[in-house]
Amino acid sequence: MDSEEKKKWLEAGRIGKEAREYGISLAKEGTPLLDIARAIEEKIHSLGAKTAFPPNLSVNSVAAHYTPRFGDDTRLKKGDILKIDVGASVDGFLSDTAATVVVGGEENALCRAARDALESGIKQVVPGKPIDNISREIERTIRDAGFSPISNLGGHGIGKYDLHEAGFIPNIGGHSGATVRKEGVIAIEPFSTTGNGYVVDSSEVQIYAFKEDKPVRSRLGRKILEFVKKEYKELPFAKRWIVEKFGRLSELEFKQLVASGSLMEFNVLKEESGGMVAQFEHSVLIDGDEVIVTTR
């Protein structure tokens, strides 16, 4: 791996870790989710990076892809299980990391299961060895703790300006015949749940990404699309970021931009049976025989 590239991967990981830990420190009873999201974003910018994606602040049975809406007044309650999933971009070199906190309480068994699964999965990251070794260890750890791994979520490859590069790492065994890459970055991302272990799309969407240049009818829609391409490239962005820049009328443009094929949606994901969900995640850099957890 080129030494300059490696330096940027490591810097993105360091900043992602700081942002994650800062978010954890803000997770107090009564705190608005919107305040936490904005503070995390400002933290990443203050450290010299950009957001790799909007801070995901998913609560209880919501597993992923929830970032606060424009004007969101949701506040944390005691006992909420809050997943804080964040990432930094240093010239397109990315990190992706997550942790779960119990608001106003101590880490519970569900959270420990996901945290332990992350650590046991990372121990199986060996270049050229089966990805299934990672998956089976994650599944074993979570099931041994008395919970279910979420079968249709998992880790993934990370590329430059590409948050979900090819190389899915399932959280259950027997579903990947691929091997661990010998160079690059991957994310290990266990989810544990008290439910049946499957997530489904909800109707809510607050995160989007540029997909393809397509004809757009409205002038405002064209302005939004040009801004998105320039500012975020193909990385995910929050609808509220666009509303804050272009005004409330911009909210009306999203349906058309998705319908035209210009933008893709990331639906908020919920555990199908309503089970509580915990998540932990690290980014891992692989360079030959060297394996470095960049977000630890």
- CA neighbours closer than 13 Å in the CB half-sphere of residue 73: 0
The residue from 21, 164, 234, 251 that is catalytic is 164
Residue type, 95: S
The residue from 18, 156, 165, 287 that is catalytic is 156
State yes or no: is 85 an active-site residue. Answer: yes
The residue from 18, 80, 132, 281 that is catalytic is 281
The residues facing 159 across adjacent strands are 162
The residue from 85, 139, 165, 287 that is catalytic is 85
State yes or no: is 96 an active-site residue. Answer: yes
Euclidean distance between CA atoms 5 and 165, whole angstroms: 17
State yes or no: is 164 an active-site residue. Answer: yes
SS3 19: helix
State yes or no: is 231 an active-site residue. Answer: no
CB burial of 213-239 (b: ≥16 within 10 Å; e: otherwise) equals eeebeeebbeebbebbeeebeebbbbb
Of 178, 180, 80, 170, which is closest to residue 124 (Cα–Cα)?
180
The residue from 116, 139, 165, 189 that is catalytic is 189
The residue from 11, 96, 139, 253 that is catalytic is 96
Query: In Å, how far from its chain's centre is CA 172?
Result: 19
State yes or no: is 45 an active-site residue. Answer: no
The residues facing 252 across adjacent strands are none
Question: Catalytic residue numbers?
Answer: 85, 96, 156, 164, 189, 281
